[in-house]
A and B are shown apart, each in its own frame.
Chain A
Amino acid sequence: MIPAPSLEIAVLLWGLILLLAESFAGKSDRRGFAIAGIAGLFAVLVASFFLAPPPATAVTGFWSFYAADPLAIFFKRFALVTTILVLIMAIDYAPAIRMGVPGANPHAGLGEFFTLPIFTCAGLMWMASAIDFVMIFVSLELVTMSFYVLVSFTRRNPATLEAGVKYLILSALSTGFLVYGITWIFGVTGQTNLARIGTVLATQDIDRIPLLFGVALVLVGLGFKVAAVPFQIWVPDVYQGAPTPVTAFLSVGSKAAGFVVLLRVLAPVSVFPQVAQLLVGVAALTLIYGNFAALPQSNLKRLLAYSSIAHAGYLLIGVVSFSGAAVAYYLVAYLLMTLLCFAVLIVVGNNSGEQIDDYAGLAKRSPFLAFAMLIGMMSLAGVPFTAGFLGKFFIFDAAIRQHQTFLVVLGVITVGCGFYYYLKVVRAMYWLEPVKAEPVPLSGLSRLTMILLIAAIFVLGIYPQPVLNALNQPTGPNTISMSR
């Protein structure tokens, strides 16, 4: 039996060891570091199934800011799986990194590129467990710091530098909002622990206006992380400019962590109707903006950026409906389908390009890659028997239960938009004639990863029970309600 916090410590130590070893590696092939990183994270993933239960009563000391409830464990695994997949993609992306980083050593920059995601992973795992505003802030910063470096990694590319600057400035700004909000909440309630804030709100008669002001500021900060409208302006440029594995990591890991924190933060303050109203507005705007702005896109990476905003909208419907289970399931589906699309994007992007037109006739050139992308797009659009459909199904079900009629209607309309822009990619792959004839080379590891992702999309699309069970394990203290 392993105590839960040792998972993050193990990940962090492994990252430090790899980073240190890299500086002595000379001219050896850096891909070994990626493999080592994947192996280490996989070991931690296995270890996460043998966790000691957290102390049942302790709400002081360490356990007052660290939770090991099912939700936290679930998202720790989520972060681990995401990072493993991102590292696998990073191996495929290595040639592009080499082009983008100055240095005489043929492996310059690769070692860091393979180890930095491990630190991000540690931050994401802490974030999943954070139940105290201080802890939330610190782990969020760990995630953001490593992303600052990763986003602008290929620094010879001006688009990447632009992305890096935009991400740095806007992220720092949003962090400012977050801290400012936390101070307001602390000033009103005298607490930073979320559970105790809830107790204070329930028992004492406090001034609501400053508290709600603080909550609104915190939502601004988190809205930036999850790419909710109107805090989404950075998304398209950063997603398009950043190295593709980092884009995938941003769109899945960063967003998932943001939603976990959002669920945790909203649990004590959801008693105020104003918060829910605010979130309904944000969700509606996010759905409309993300889906409609995705319609005219011609660059696949940018399309996926807007689609990530759109999916944040569906996730926000789940948040507004207070269904943690629906949000968690949707995030899992989102992880599978988005990473599948990005995996194909990297392979094809190295060979042809990132425009949708570069996918013309892919079905003839590489039927497997086209099929993988087809499954990814079908799942993103929400076609049954894929995980993406069940995700939308659970979200809409939760919303109908909470009588969020407006959001449901809007959600259905925007699903129609989704069919258009996702099928645009399918159309290019299957309808159009290829520009080049030769097949796109695909490494064995990537092929295996894609097969596993496709299988997972179908299995979870038909048999969602494993994910639902993982969220309904016997619970420790500080558990938020998973379904109402």
Chain B
Amino acid sequence: MLLIIVFVPLITALLILIGAPARLTALLGSGATVIAALVAFFLYDPVRAGFQFVSSFPISESWRLQFLLGADGLSLIMLFLAALVLLCAVWFTPPIEKSEPLFYACLLFLASGAIGAFASLDLFFFYAFHELALIPTFLLIGIWGSGNRFAAAWKVTIYLGLGSFVLLLGLILLYRSVPPALRSFDLRALQTAAANGGIAADTQNQIFFLLLIGFGVLISLFPFHTWAPEAYASAPPPAAMLHAGVLKKFGLYGLLRLGLPLVPEGAQHWNTLLIVLLLGNIIYVGLVTIAQKRLDWMLGYSSVMHMGYIFLGIASANIIGLNGAALLMFAHGISIALLFALAGEIRRRTGTLVFSDLGGLGKIMPFAGFAFGIATFAAIGLPGFANFAAEVMVFFGAFRVGADWQSFHIFQIATVLALWGVVISAVYMLRAYRVVFMGAAKPEAFRGWSMAPDLSRTLRLPIILLITATLIVGFFPNTVLRLLRPTFSPPVAASDR
């Protein structure tokens, strides 16, 4: 099952490079991936603990390296997110003028990097798959990007390249810190070793620090976030959807998958640092977001800011917070993909995303306005959307940590400040909505556009798909949460503070 999910996008990309009709093949391939992910979603048995759909192919005996695929609830949710966003990104790709096949191939490579990483149980391939996305990102931004695309492409590639080598050091150290008899790249073996106290406390501190910085750069943890807004603003919208919606979640997934279960003491050791940094994400980047004058930059910064909440859930390390973090990864992936898709369509029509040049689009593009409004509410975290369910859990989880009724500790203070972040995000999201869609219409903005101004029927379908996903999870979070039970209950029983 997982083999299909991992290899269909890869093979589709290769087929397109060889010469298959680009758009059709990409749509079919990503559609098949979504279906396969859905099937896996329903076949997964949440009662049974551990990883399912495991398949392994030995690679190197002396290194105990194997190509090992497997999934639990957390990976399945991420796989489904990746497949869904991939489908929508392909769907939303406007006609490409220069080298269309390469564009779709890059898009599919980008997604298969993320999918492969989410499905790998072997640390080596977990890492390597993610890196598969690096060069396609460089090409996507550099060739088809807009604005200051050259600088943005350099910045994102070097940042992510450096960050992932820091991460690599962390992973090697992790591999080396386990006693030789248990040493393996197999995540399950490492989990067993870690559960039996195989990793010394001070080594745990070093490992978690490297993982935090390495993953942190990939997630755009403050102060390593500066690549993200620029890259997302310059990237072609489908690439921004995939990168912000899916690929960035790789780092969070890594922290949930490796950081907390394997080196819990290290995680505890660096908790204060993480809290300070994530407040940087929420408060500082939040204020920066308010100051933005362009819609694409604002969305880029807002996606950086929302990472702070997910970090808060991870820092809390209890069952409510972690479930909330995982749910928020899914919810944020959907909402930011929706926003970038709509922003891209607006840009195609008006040629600009500067706030002062836009206005009254709600009258000209009613459907886009409606969809953007929904996405805005979802991003702020209004009840009924997946983001609300997730954020509430994150806040409750974080507030509970070390709570006594005498005084507030760092977690309570952080939660209070993070809640103010919700107000900040309401300010900038609603302001953007008002500026772009309300007010006097400016039909002259559409001068270069010959077709109907609103989204065409075919483009409405992926939007409805994404909105449905966020609404279903928002009203019935248990559809997702029930899959997460086996993932988070064992480590949490030990470390629930």
User: When the two chains form their complex, are residues B62 and A419 in contact, meaning their CB atoms are under 8 A apart?
Assistant: no
Select which of B60, B127, B168 is within 8 A of A396 by beta carbon.
B168
Q: Does A436 contact B (CB under 8 A)?
A: no
A378 to B135, CA, bound (A): 8
Q: Does B142 contact A (CB under 8 A)?
A: yes
Select which of A378, A401, A462 is within 8 A of B59 by beta carbon.
A462
Q: Does A400 contact B (CB under 8 A)?
A: yes
User: When the two chains form their complex, are residues A400 and B142 in contact, meaning their CB atoms are under 8 A apart?
Assistant: no
User: When the two chains form their complex, are residues B132 and A472 in contact, meaning their CB atoms are under 8 A apart?
Assistant: no
A363 to B59, CA, bound (A): 33
Q: Which of A377-404 contact B (CB under 8 A)?
A: 378, 381-385, 389, 393, 396-397, 400-401
Residue of A whose beta carbon sits closest to that of B214: A412
List residues of chain A with CB within 8 A of the CB of B142.
427, 430-431
Given contacts A383-B134, A412-B166, A465-B61, contact A400 B173 (CB under 8 A): yes
Given contacts A383-B131, A383-B134, A401-B176, contact A415 B139 (CB under 8 A): no
Q: Which of A184-216 contact B (CB under 8 A)?
A: none
Q: Which of B148-170 contact A (CB under 8 A)?
A: 150, 153-154, 157-158, 161-162, 165-166, 168-169
User: When the two chains form their complex, are residues A464 and B157 in contact, meaning their CB atoms are under 8 A apart?
Assistant: no
Q: Does A437 contact B (CB under 8 A)?
A: no
B131 to chain A, nearest CB (A): 4
Q: Does B99 contact A (CB under 8 A)?
A: yes
A244 to B166, CA, bound (A): 36
User: When the two chains form their complex, are residues B165 and A384 in contact, meaning their CB atoms are under 8 A apart?
Assistant: no
A142 to B127, CA, bound (A): 44
List residues of chain B with CB within 8 A of the CB of A468.
60, 62-63
What is the predominant secondary structure among interface residues of chain A facing chain B? helix
A381 to B172, CA, bound (A): 19
Q: Which of B319-341 contact A (CB under 8 A)?
A: none
Contact with A along B98-142 (1 / 0, CB 8 A): 010010000000000000000000000001110110110011001
A413 to chain B, nearest CB (A): 8
Q: Which of A436-476 contact B (CB under 8 A)?
A: 462-465, 468, 472
Select which of A415, A423, A430 is within 8 A of B157 by beta carbon.
A423
Residue of B whose beta carbon sits closest to that of A426: B138
Select which of A396, A400, A416 is within 8 A of B158 by beta carbon.
A416
A155 to B162, CA, bound (A): 43
Q: Does B143 contact A (CB under 8 A)?
A: yes
Q: How many A-B residue pairs have CB under 8 A?
A: 82
Q: Which of A405-420 contact B (CB under 8 A)?
A: 408, 412-413, 415-416, 419-420
List residues of chain A with CB within 8 A of the CB of B134.
383
A416 to chain B, nearest CB (A): 4
A462 to B128, CA, bound (A): 10
User: When the two chains form their complex, are residues B131 and A423 in contact, meaning their CB atoms are under 8 A apart?
Assistant: no
List residues of chain B with CB within 8 A of the CB of A465.
59-62
User: When the two chains form their complex, are residues B172 and A415 in contact, meaning their CB atoms are under 8 A apart?
Assistant: no
Given contacts A384-B128, A389-B128, A464-B60, contact A400 B172 (CB under 8 A): yes
A382 to B143, CA, bound (A): 22
The listed residue with most B CB atoms (<10 A of its CB), out of A381, A397, A472, is: A397
Select which of B128, B138, B162 is within 8 A of A423 by beta carbon.
B138
A295 to B259, CA, bound (A): 35
Given contacts A420-B158, A431-B142, contact A385 B132 (CB under 8 A): yes
Q: Give the size category of B's interface with A.
A: 20 to 34
A389 to B169, CA, bound (A): 13
Contact with A along B58-74 (1 / 0, CB 8 A): 01111100000000000
User: When the two chains form their complex, are residues A431 and B143 in contact, meaning their CB atoms are under 8 A apart?
Assistant: yes
User: When the two chains form their complex, are residues A384 and B169 in contact, meaning their CB atoms are under 8 A apart?
Assistant: no
Contact with B along A357-390 (1 / 0, CB 8 A): 0000001100000000010001001111100010
User: When the two chains form their complex, are residues B131 and A381 in contact, meaning their CB atoms are under 8 A apart?
Assistant: no
The listed residue with most A CB atoms (<10 A of its CB), out of B102, B129, B158, is: B158
B56 to chain A, nearest CB (A): 14
B62 to chain A, nearest CB (A): 6
Residue of B whose beta carbon sits closest to that of A424: B154
A246 to chain B, nearest CB (A): 31
A338 to B99, CA, bound (A): 28
User: When the two chains form their complex, are residues A419 and B59 in contact, meaning their CB atoms are under 8 A apart?
Assistant: no
List residues of chain B with CB within 8 A of the CB of A363.
99, 102
A472 to B62, CA, bound (A): 10
List residues of chain B with CB within 8 A of the CB of A382.
165
Given contacts A400-B176, A419-B158, contact A384 B166 (CB under 8 A): no
User: When the two chains form their complex, are residues B169 and A400 in contact, meaning their CB atoms are under 8 A apart?
Assistant: yes
User: When the two chains form their complex, are residues A396 and B161 in contact, meaning their CB atoms are under 8 A apart?
Assistant: no
The listed residue with most B CB atoms (<10 A of its CB), out of A401, A426, A427, is: A427
Select which of B63, B135, B139 is within 8 A of A383 by beta carbon.
B135
User: When the two chains form their complex, are residues A397 and B162 in contact, meaning their CB atoms are under 8 A apart?
Assistant: no
List residues of chain B with CB within 8 A of the CB of A420.
154, 158
A237 to B265, CA, bound (A): 53
Residue of A whose beta carbon sits closest to that of B141: A431
User: When the two chains form their complex, are residues B165 and A416 in contact, meaning their CB atoms are under 8 A apart?
Assistant: yes
List residues of chain B with CB within 8 A of the CB of A430.
139, 142-143
A468 to B175, CA, bound (A): 19
Given contacts A363-B99, A383-B134, contact A397 B176 (CB under 8 A): yes
Given contacts A415-B161, A423-B138, contact A393 B168 (CB under 8 A): yes
Residue of B whose beta carbon sits closest to that of A418: B161
List residues of chain B with CB within 8 A of the CB of A415.
161-162, 165
List residues of chain B with CB within 8 A of the CB of A408.
169
List residues of chain A with CB within 8 A of the CB of B129.
384
List residues of chain A with CB within 8 A of the CB of B60.
463-465, 468
Contact with A along B159-200 (1 / 0, CB 8 A): 001100110110011011000000000000000000000000
A374 to B142, CA, bound (A): 15
B61 to chain A, nearest CB (A): 7
User: When the two chains form their complex, are residues B128 and A396 in contact, meaning their CB atoms are under 8 A apart?
Assistant: no
User: When the two chains form their complex, are residues A412 and B165 in contact, meaning their CB atoms are under 8 A apart?
Assistant: yes
List residues of chain A with CB within 8 A of the CB of B99.
363-364
A111 to chain B, nearest CB (A): 42
A426 to B102, CA, bound (A): 14
A260 to B157, CA, bound (A): 34
A311 to chain B, nearest CB (A): 16
List residues of chain B with CB within 8 A of the CB of A364.
99
Residue of A whose beta carbon sits closest to that of B131: A384
Residue of B whose beta carbon sits closest to that of A465: B60
A10 to B281, CA, bound (A): 67
List residues of chain B with CB within 8 A of the CB of A374.
135
List residues of chain A with CB within 8 A of the CB of B153.
427
User: When the two chains form their complex, are residues B162 and A416 in contact, meaning their CB atoms are under 8 A apart?
Assistant: yes
A281 to B100, CA, bound (A): 49
A374 to B63, CA, bound (A): 29
List residues of chain B with CB within 8 A of the CB of A385.
128, 131-132
Residue of A whose beta carbon sits closest to that of B134: A383
B263 to chain A, nearest CB (A): 16
A412 to B159, CA, bound (A): 12
A426 to B135, CA, bound (A): 9
List residues of chain B with CB within 8 A of the CB of A472.
62
A374 to B59, CA, bound (A): 25
A408 to B169, CA, bound (A): 8
User: When the two chains form their complex, are residues A396 and B132 in contact, meaning their CB atoms are under 8 A apart?
Assistant: no
List residues of chain A with CB within 8 A of the CB of B132.
383-385
B111 to chain A, nearest CB (A): 16
What 10 A-B pairs have minimum CB-CB distances, sorted nearest first?
A384-B128, A416-B162, A384-B131, A419-B161, A412-B165, A431-B142, A465-B60, A415-B165, A397-B172, A419-B158
Q: A397-B176, A427-B153, A464-B60 are in contact. List 15 more A-B contacts (CB 8 A).
A: A374-B135, A383-B135, A384-B128, A384-B129, A385-B131, A393-B168, A412-B162, A413-B162, A415-B162, A419-B158, A419-B161, A420-B158, A426-B138, A463-B60, A465-B62
27 A–B contacts, CB within 8 A, in A order: A363-B99, A363-B102, A364-B99, A374-B135, A383-B131, A383-B132, A384-B129, A384-B131, A385-B132, A396-B169, A396-B172, A397-B176, A408-B169, A412-B169, A415-B162, A416-B162, A419-B162, A423-B154, A426-B138, A430-B139, A431-B143, A462-B59, A463-B59, A463-B60, A464-B63, A465-B61, A468-B62
